[in-house]
Amino acid sequence: MLSVQHPAKTAMNARRRPNFFIVGAPRSGTTAMASYLGRHPGIFMPSMPDIYYFGSDLPWFVERRMTEEHYLSYFKDAREDQSIGDAARWYLYSKCAAAELRDFQPDARIIIMLRNPVDMMYSLHGHRLLLGAEDIADFGAALEAEPRRRATGDVPHHLGMRESVCYREVTRFAPQVERYLAAFGEERVHVIIFDDFVRDTAEAYRATLRFLGRDEGFQPEFPVVNAYRQVRSLSLTRRLIQPPACLLKLATGILGRSIQHTIFLRIMSMLAKQSHRPPMEPALRRRLTEEMRPDVERLGRIIGRDLSSWTWG
């Protein structure tokens, strides 16, 4: 007997699926690399960042629960000759995303971007302040609050990653990378060190194109993306980031997430100014560097890279 497939299911299955994923880490150049790759004629990246269809242990999985058809609709404009990418900064931190991505696309290629964990902690803290998602302005005090925050769950209310204020936990990269190597194998995981990305962006870009099997001859401009910004009004930012639930639901229903996200970014750009954050207090940097040394050394062994420059303090 012939099997007759429902037309709607046939259309959904015919949609092209992402075949590579930029999985993080946050504040490590992931947004910039996604933007640069999206300019390549042989690569499609959705206009909506951080869709979060995977990562069932992340808060967005519940808050943004969507069907596979909805998820694939973000990639409906991809051409047959293009590689299709998806970027989500917290997939690396997720304990579930690696296995879920493998189940969804076993042949996918994975791009991981890593930064000196001490620098990433400091950058992440500044970014959370900008978003109104951190209420302890002093970085050292925020670190001291981590045990209490983990024990009590007393963290700033925010629609995103509340766990992101537990800075040490987020930056322990070794087990995070191991999950992806176990799921996809070394040949399908490409690790980019932030230092290399900043030092020679063009070469890091070409190496990523080689990994994806795309033409290395194309090179876009490389404007700075996600530079440090200082919020002008913390109270106004918090009101923006934490609107009444009924208003948020109404806006999402009327505008859709993509338009809502665009409007949010434009308003945030008006509420913040580009700035240079003062360097971390030297004694605190030395203490954190020594604390993170075992994980950095383990990470270096895992990826076959000398990361001793991260442990000098």
State the Cα–Cα distance between residues 159 and 173, nearest whole angstrom: 24
Q: Is residue 1 part of a domain?
A: no
pLDDT attached to residue 235: 56
pLDDT attached to residue 7: 40
**Residues in the chain, how many?**
313
Angle subtended at Cα 46 by Cα 120 and Cα 164, rounded to the nearest 5 degrees? 25
Residues 6+ apart with CB under 8 A from 25: 89, 92, 93, 112, 113, 114, 115, 120, 170, 171, 173, 176
pLDDT attached to residue 3: 34
Q: Is residue 157 part of a domain?
A: yes
Q: Is residue 142 part of a domain?
A: yes
pLDDT attached to residue 154: 78
**Residues 113, 192 within the same domain:** yes
φ, ψ dihedrals at 60, nearest 5°:
-65, -25
Across the strands, what pairs with 190?
111
**Residues 81, 155 within the same domain:** yes
Q: Is residue 187 part of a domain?
A: yes
pLDDT by residue for the chain (313 residues), tens only, comes to 333 333 444 344 456 899 999 999 999 999 999 999 999 999 999 988 889 999 999 877 666 678 999 999 999 999 999 999 999 999 999 999 999 999 999 999 999 999 999 999 999 998 888 777 888 999 999 999 999 988 887 777 655 566 778 899 999 999 999 999 999 999 999 999 999 999 999 999 999 999 999 999 999 999 877 655 555 555 555 555 555 555 555 555 555 555 555 555 555 555 555 556 789 999 999 999 999 999 999 999 999 999 999 998 6
Burial degree of 201 (CB within 10 A; 0-12, 13-18, 19+): middle
State the Cα–Cα distance between residues 281 and 293, nearest whole angstrom: 18
Residue 84 has a CB neighbour count (10 Å cut-off) of 21
Q: Is residue 2 part of a domain?
A: no
pLDDT attached to residue 313: 61
**Residues 162, 244 within the same domain:** no
The CATH number given to whatever domain includes residue 193 is 3.40.50.300
**Residues 159, 104 within the same domain:** yes
Which tokens hold the place of 51? Answer: 């869709």
State the Cα–Cα distance between residues 15 and 76, nearest whole angstrom: 6
**Residues 142, 219 within the same domain:** yes
**Residues 115, 233 within the same domain:** no
Closest CA relative to residue 125, chosen from 109, 142, 108, 111:
142
Which tokens hold the place of 199? Answer: 């030092």
DSSP-based helix, strand, coil % in the chain, nearest 5: 50, 10, 40
State the Cα–Cα distance between residues 291 and 101, nearest whole angstrom: 32
State the Cα–Cα distance between residues 296 and 299, nearest whole angstrom: 5
Contact predicate 133/163, CB 8 Å: no
Q: What is the 3-state secondary structure (H, E, C) of 273-302?
A: EECCCCCCCHHHHHHHHHHHHHHHHHHHHH
Question: Number of structural domains, the chain?
Answer: 2
**Residues 222, 242 within the same domain:** no
Which tokens hold the place of 20? Answer: 């590579």
Single pTM value for the model: 0.82
Beta strands in 208-282 (DSSP E): 229-231, 272-274
Task: Quote the domain boundaries for residue 111.
Answer: 7-226+281-310
pLDDT attached to residue 163: 73
